[in-house]
């Protein structure tokens, strides 16, 4: 598998949509420019450079032929003027001098000068040197004669074409210009996707998204409108379900209250006690249904001190009869729905109090962009094969943990729904410190 990933393009391809978009824009442009320069301009420049070098070398040979005959100073002066006029080259003869070599730039050596050398090597019987200076724009050839050195100077531009650099800068410049134009457009398209993503995340956390307005290309707008339609339908459904559960629960409380009043006149105390216990169990069930319904009530998220929130929950629930220890190295802040998150943590701690042997440890940790809350008790725990079921609504464990206190099996399902709305996860694990059940919650900081 590792070798397969090594040969896959996506392994090296950027993950972000902005980077991918820029690559899709810039890479074809870059490849087309390189291909154009290689196929067309490289051949054109090579031919022009070769032709210019050949003309220059031919002019050098012509000047040498004209110099072969011994000439008087007056004749040599006329020769210099003629060469200057017809060839735009300067000629001088240094009697008794010897050639001194001078190093050329490597770039010039690799380009036009090699064509001149090749031509001169095949046609000149005397030793010679050729040098070029980009600073002074001079191309100089020195030919060693027995009685001196013939010096021929010409403009470097007549042989060496610099348009290749202009073309190269045009390639880079055009890519930069097109990138500057393309980046804002690409950013606008990506911003619309980011807005849609943010709206989806907010909806997943159960927050209101009334401020979202679909923008961007028509396809993204259509996706945004479809999402809003689905979101509104889901909100209507959740509101309808919440109202239905609240209404049923409220309607059931009325006859239960009347039953309680009627039992006050019951002479059979045993029957009265048994029926009152049943009524209390029914009230607990109704309250559980209401809590389950309240889990879908929208609430705005806000930055909250998780550490202080959990400590306050422990102070409310612990009446001094339980050993509850909260471990947190520092105050940890996260963007949460405070009331909903408090309800989830309170449910877990209440379960731990109910089913443990009065000892609980709560660890609050931050790792990366997440916060973990670990609540461990020293009770009997939950078998591994039943843990997934315990997170489902209306599921109760009859054997491992004490069930005499009642309940309808909504506690952990309410917790899971709230945690999922925060973009987090809940895990039921084996306790490492106390040996009971360990409930681990992970939520993002933002």
Read off the pLDDT band of 363 (50, 70, 90): very high
Q: How far is CA 370 from CA 68, 249, 308, 337, 445, in A?
A: 90, 37, 17, 16, 5
pLDDT tens digits, one per residue of 240-263: 777 777 777 677 777 777 777 777
Is residue 401 within 8 A of residue 410, CB to CB? The reply is no
Average pLDDT over residues 182-190: 78
Mean pLDDT of 88-109: 72
H or E element, residue 276? helix 269-294
| Choice among 101-110, 154-163, 286-295, 374-383 with the minimum mean pLDDT | 101-110
pLDDT in the model for residue 405 = 41
Over residues 396-416, the mean pLDDT reads: 58
- The C-alpha atoms of residue 413 and residue 13 are separated, in whole angstroms, by 41
- Confidence check: pLDDT of 129 > 70: yes
Which SS3 state, helix, strand or coil, does residue 414 take?
helix
Please measure the distance between the N-terminal and C-terminal CA atoms of the chain and give it in whole angstroms. 34
């Amino acid at each position: 598998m590792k070798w397969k990933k090594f040969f896959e393009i996506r392994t090296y391809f950027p993950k972000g949509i902005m980077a991918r978009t820029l690559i899709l824009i810039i890479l074809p442009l870059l490849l087309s420019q390189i291909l154009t320069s290689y196929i067309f301009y490289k051949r054109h420049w090579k031919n022009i450079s070769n032709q210019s070098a050949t003309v220059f070398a031919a002019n050098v040979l012509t000047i040498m032929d004209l110099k072969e005959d011994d000439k008087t100073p007056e004749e040599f002066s006329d020769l210099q003027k003629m060469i200057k006029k017809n060839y735009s080259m300067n000629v001088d003869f240094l009697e008794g001098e010897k050639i001194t070599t001078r190093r050329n730039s490597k770039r010039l050596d690799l380009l036009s000068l090699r064509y001149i050398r090749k031509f001169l090597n095949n046609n000149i019987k005397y030793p010679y040197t050729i040098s070029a200076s980009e600073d002074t724009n001079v191309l100089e050839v020195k030919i060693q004669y027995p009685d001196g050195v013939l010096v021929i100077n010409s403009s470097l531009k007549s042989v060496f074409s610099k348009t290749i650099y202009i073309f190269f800068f045009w390639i880079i410049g055009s890519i930069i210009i097109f990138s500057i134009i393309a980046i804002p457009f690409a950013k606008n398209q990506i911003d619309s996707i980011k807005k849609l993503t943010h709206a989806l995340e907010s909806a997943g956390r159960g927050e209101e998204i009334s401020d979202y307005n679909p923008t961007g290309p028509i396809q993204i707008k259509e996706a945004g409108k479809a999402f809003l339609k689905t979101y509104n339908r889901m909100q209507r459904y959740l509101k309808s379900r919440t109202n239905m559960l609240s209404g049923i629960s409220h309607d059931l409380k009325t006859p239960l209250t009347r039953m309680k009043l009627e039992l006050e006149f019951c002479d059979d105390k045993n029957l009265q006690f048994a029926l009152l216990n049943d009524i209390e169990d029914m009230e607990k069930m109704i309250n559980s249904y209401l809590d389950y319904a309240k889990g879908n009530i929208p609430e705005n998220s806000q930055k909250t001190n998780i550490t202080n929130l959990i400590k306050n929950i422990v102070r409310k629930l612990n009446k001094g009869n339980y050993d509850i220890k909260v471990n947190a190295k520092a105050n940890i802040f996260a963007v949460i729905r405070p009331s909903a998150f408090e309800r989830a943590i309170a449910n877990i701690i209440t379960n731990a109090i109910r089913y443990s042997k009065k000892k609980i440890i709560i660890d609050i940790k931050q790792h990366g962009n997440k916060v973990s809350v670990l609540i461990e008790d020293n009770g009997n725990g939950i078998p591994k094969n039943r843990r997934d079921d315990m997170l489902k609504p209306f599921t109760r464990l009859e054997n491992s943990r004490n069930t005499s206190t009642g309940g309808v099996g909504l506690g952990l399902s309410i917790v899971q729904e709230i945690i999922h709305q925060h973009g987090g996860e809940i895990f039921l694990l084996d306790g490492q410190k106390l040996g009971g059940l360990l409930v681990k919650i992970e939520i993002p900081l933002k």
